Structures are given as structure tokens and as C-alpha cells.
């Protein structure tokens, strides 16, 4: 395998999972510098996740993980109302619009001002954290903020992302123009980079003179005989968009996005890169329902990994399974990055173990209780609940998981 092909494997979901399990094995063997694991505490986490799942979905009719649950905050079906008002002429038109919304909402889950609360003024619903980002993106979409054609507001056009106005962005996000000026500039640049990346790949995102992220969804559907392959979808998005997520590892001239090099692995003559691709996988998870609404299944979804996010690290940290070692001295930049890699990677592998335990406990197979439903029903919700109940712990984890304060990572204090 040549170097270029080796790098491209870092965009494959199987590689995310493989590297995560490798890091977990090293933790169990006591070979990591920053993180310890106690697998005997997994039973307690299992009970917590079961409790949360039964509380939210007592009949175990669990929808897949994705941004669509964020749009239902306060028990309002915002997408249903928007789609009904729009009256899409065809399933393809609906798919492009829904995919546009899924991509932009997942993409805008970034760091945000501390204690930010977004208010949906139509319903008076308030939300914080990643859900606030999703709701803000939804309302910008619904108001036509991303559209270059006001006769067709429900779309995301590359040219509009590139020229997004700072004042409009501040008002839409409900951020303070002076106090949050730095983050507003970062968000404006973040959206501009997405627009530029879309424009650079007309083969994936353009049709005539229109360039939209959702057009890739229709391409994938048309190229699929029975079902869209989740791995292919992830590969296409990362092939085009990996460079927009700055701050991760770089190999030669290739920016690897949400992928980081662990210094200890380099010293041991191992492949140093550990991929996560949190936002890109969130996009693919969030396309499952738009594809279904348009009549397409998604295959290979269980090849995607659990999100390497703050909620999952909190779940296992609170449960005593995953522990960052306390040190008297401050970590160097390299050590802090290694600790972040270990925490995020191990949380992915632990969720795989937990999924097996849940299926065994409930006496069902993985087809009956897929990972995407486990994420939605239990692990993501349980972790978010822990973060909401312990602000101090949430801030500490944010600092551990994003020591360099990379803007597009949805955590960091």
C-alpha cells in the first residue's frame, strides 16, 4: 500500500473503530501515559444507559441518532411543520433540502460562548450546548439565511456561505457582537471554508450553476441500486471536506480533519494517526432519515463508530470506567493532545462493548438494536444528562478534550 492509500484509510469508518480498540487494549494493558480503564465498572454504566433509554423510549421504538432529535426540542416537530408548509414537489427535492439542513446543522456544532442559551422565539424553547447550535442552524435555514434564492429559502448555497454577513450571523446565533466577536469571526470563516470546499468539488455538490451540500445525497441515491452505503457516504464527505476542519493532523499536503497524531505511538514505531471524524460521521448519521423519507435505505450504518464526544467521555468517566490520571505538573501541549486522543478513542471502543452488553442483556441481536439507536436512546442522552447536572465536570472535560481550543470541536472551555 502506498503512502497516499495509507492516508486515505484514515477516512474509512473501519479504521476509526480499529484504532479506537487498539488504544483501549493499550489502556487495559497499562501502556498509556494519561488514561486508566477499569472495565469492571461497565455494569454500572450499562444500568445507567438502560434507565435512560427506558425513560425516553419505554417501548424501545427508538429513532436513529442524528440532528433531527435536536430539531424536536420542546416536543415540537419543526421539520414536519417546515416540510408541510413548503410542499416539496418531489422526493428528490425534499431529500436535497433535508440533506442541506442535516449537513449545515452538524457542521455548525462548534465551540460556543460559555453559558450560551439559544431561544426559539416561536415556541419559547431554550437550549444550550450542541442542541443550541442545531436549533440556531434550523432557524437560519428556515429563514433563508443560507439561500441565494429568496423564492426558494429552504436550501444551503455555497456562495451564500462564502459571503455570510457577520451582523446577520450574530443576530441568528444570538451571540453578542462585541463580547463574542472572536467566535463570530471564527464561525464566519468556518462557514466560508465549507462554501469554498463545496465549490471546489462540482462533481459531488453541483448541478448546473447550483452548488449545495445536499446534492451529494441525491447523487449517492441515484448511484445506489437498493441502499446507500454509509461508508461510501462518509468517504465522499471526507474526501471533499476534511480540510475544512483545521487543527488536526496533516500528512504532507493532506489535511486530515478530525484526526490527531499520538506522540507515544510514533516513538513505538506505530502508525501515529488516530481518526475520529466526529462532525463528518454526525452528517452521515443525520442523513439516514432524509434518505428513508425519500425511499432509500442506508446500509453499513453499524460500520460508523460512536461519536468521540464530550457526552460519551462523561458517561464513562462518571461511571468510573475511564479515568484521566491526575498530575501535579501542567501537561505540555503534546501531552495534552495525547490525553485527548486517549479519552476520545477509548470512549468509542467502550461504546462498542456497551452495545454488545445491551444486546445480551435484552436478548436481542444487533439488527434489532443497532448502534445508531443505542446512541440515540441511551449513551448520548445519558452523557448529556451527566454534563447538564455537573457544570464543573463539563468544563474540566471540555478543557481535556480540546486543549488547543480548536473552534470546530463542539467542546472546550
pLDDT of residue 320: 95
CA distances from 48 to 54, 86, 113, 257, 379 (A): 10, 41, 30, 33, 9
pLDDT of residue 270: 62
To the nearest 10 degrees (0 to 180), the angle between helices 230-241 and 13-28 is 90
**Is 236 in contact with 126 (CB distance < 8 Å)?**
no
pLDDT of residue 1: 39
Rg (CA), the chain: 20
The sign one gets for the Cα dihedral 297, 303, 308, 311 is: positive
Q: How far apart are CA 83 and CA 323, in angstroms?
A: 45
End-to-end CA distance of the chain: 40
State the pairing for strand pair 227-229/297-299. parallel
pLDDT of residue 328: 64
pLDDT of residue 13: 87
Give the predicted TM-score (pTM) of the model: 0.94
273 DSSP β-pair partners: 261
206 DSSP β-pair partners: 211
10-residue mean pLDDT profile of the chain (413 residues): values are 59 91 94 94 96 93 93 90 90 96 96 91 89 95 94 95 95 95 96 97 96 97 90 94 92 89 77 93 96 94 94 96 84 93 98 96 92 94 92 90 90 72
pLDDT of residue 143: 94
CA distances from 373 to 98, 355, 358, 383 (A): 20, 10, 11, 15
299 DSSP β-pair partners: 229
pLDDT of residue 7: 67
What are the b/e assignments for 161-186, b being 16+ CB within 10 Å?
A: beebeeeebbebbbbeeeebeebbeb
Strand intervals (E) in 114-237 = 117-120, 125-128, 206-207, 210-211, 227-229
pLDDT of residue 253: 82
Q: How far apart are CA 238 and CA 260, in angstroms?
A: 15
Amino acid at each position: 500500500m502506498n503512502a497516499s492509500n495509507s492516508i486515505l484509510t484514515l477516512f474509512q469508518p473501519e479504521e476509526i473503530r480499529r484504532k479506537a480498540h487498539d488504544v483501549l487494549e493499550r489502556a487495559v494493558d497499562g501502556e498509556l501515559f494519561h488514561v486508566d480503564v477499569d472495565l469492571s465498572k461497565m455494569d454500572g454504566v450499562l444500568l445507567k444507559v438502560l434507565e435512560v433509554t427506558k425513560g425516553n423510549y419505554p417501548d424501545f421504538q427508538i429513532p436513529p441518532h442524528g440532528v433531527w432529535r435536536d430539531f424536536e426540542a420542546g416536543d415540537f416537530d419543526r421539520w414536519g411543520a417546515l416540510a408541510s408548509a413548503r410542499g416539496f414537489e418531489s422526493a428528490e427535492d425534499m431529500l436535497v433540502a433535508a440533506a442541506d439542513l442535516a449537513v449545515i446543522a452538524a457542521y455548525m456544532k462548534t465551540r460556543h460562548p460559555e453559558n450560551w442559551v439559544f431561544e426559539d422565539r416561536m415556541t419559547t424553547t431554550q437550549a444550550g450546548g450542541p442542541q443550541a447550535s442545531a436549533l440556531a442552524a434550523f432557524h437560519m435555514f428556515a429563514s433563508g439565511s443560507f439561500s441565494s434564492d429568496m423564492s426558494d429559502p429552504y436550501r444551503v448555497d455555497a456562495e451564500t456561505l462564502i459571503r455570510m454577513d457577520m451582523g446577520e450571523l450574530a443576530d441568528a446565533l444570538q451571540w453578542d457582537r462585541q463580547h463574542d466577536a472572536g467566535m463570530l469571526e471564527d464561525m464566519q470563516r468556518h462557514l466560508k471554508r465549507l462554501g469554498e470546499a463545496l465549490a471546489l468539488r462540482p462533481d459531488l455538490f453541483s448541478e448546473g450553476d447550483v452548488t449545495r451540500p445536499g446534492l451529494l445525497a441525491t447523487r449517492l441515491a441515484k448511484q445506489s441500486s437498493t441502499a446507500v452505503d454509509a461508508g461510501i457516504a462518509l468517504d465522499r464527505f471526507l474526501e471533499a471536506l476534511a480540510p475544512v476542519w483545521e487543527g488536526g493532523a496533516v500528512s504532507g499536503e493532506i489535511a486530515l480533519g478530525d484526526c490527531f497524531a499520538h506522540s507515544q505511538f510514533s516513538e513505538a514505531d506505530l502508525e501515529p494517526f488516530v481518526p475520529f471524524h466526529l462532525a463528518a460521521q454526525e452528517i452521515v448519521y443525520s442523513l439516514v432519515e432524509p434518505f428513508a423519507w425519500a425511499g432509500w435505505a442506508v446500509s453499513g450504518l453499524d460500520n460508523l463508530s460512536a461519536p468521540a464526544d464530550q457526552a460519551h467521555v462523561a458517561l464513562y468517566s462518571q461511571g468510573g470506567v475511564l479515568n484521566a490520571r491526575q498530575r501535579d505538573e501542567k501537561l505540555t501541549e503534546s501531552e495534552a493532545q495525547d490525553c485527548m486522543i486517549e479519552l476520545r478513542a477509548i470512549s468509542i471502543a467502550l461504546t462498542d462493548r456497551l452495545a454488545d452488553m445491551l444486546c445480551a442483556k435484552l436478548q436481542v441481536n444487533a439488527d434489532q438494536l443497532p448502534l445508531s439507536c443505542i446512541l440515540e436512546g441511551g449513551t448520548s442522552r445519558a452523557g448529556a444528562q451527566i454534563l447538564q447536572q455537573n457544570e464543573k465536570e463539563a468544563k474540566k472535560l471540555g478543557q481535556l478534550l480540546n486543549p488547543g481550543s480548536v473552534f470546530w470541536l463542539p467542546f472546550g472551555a
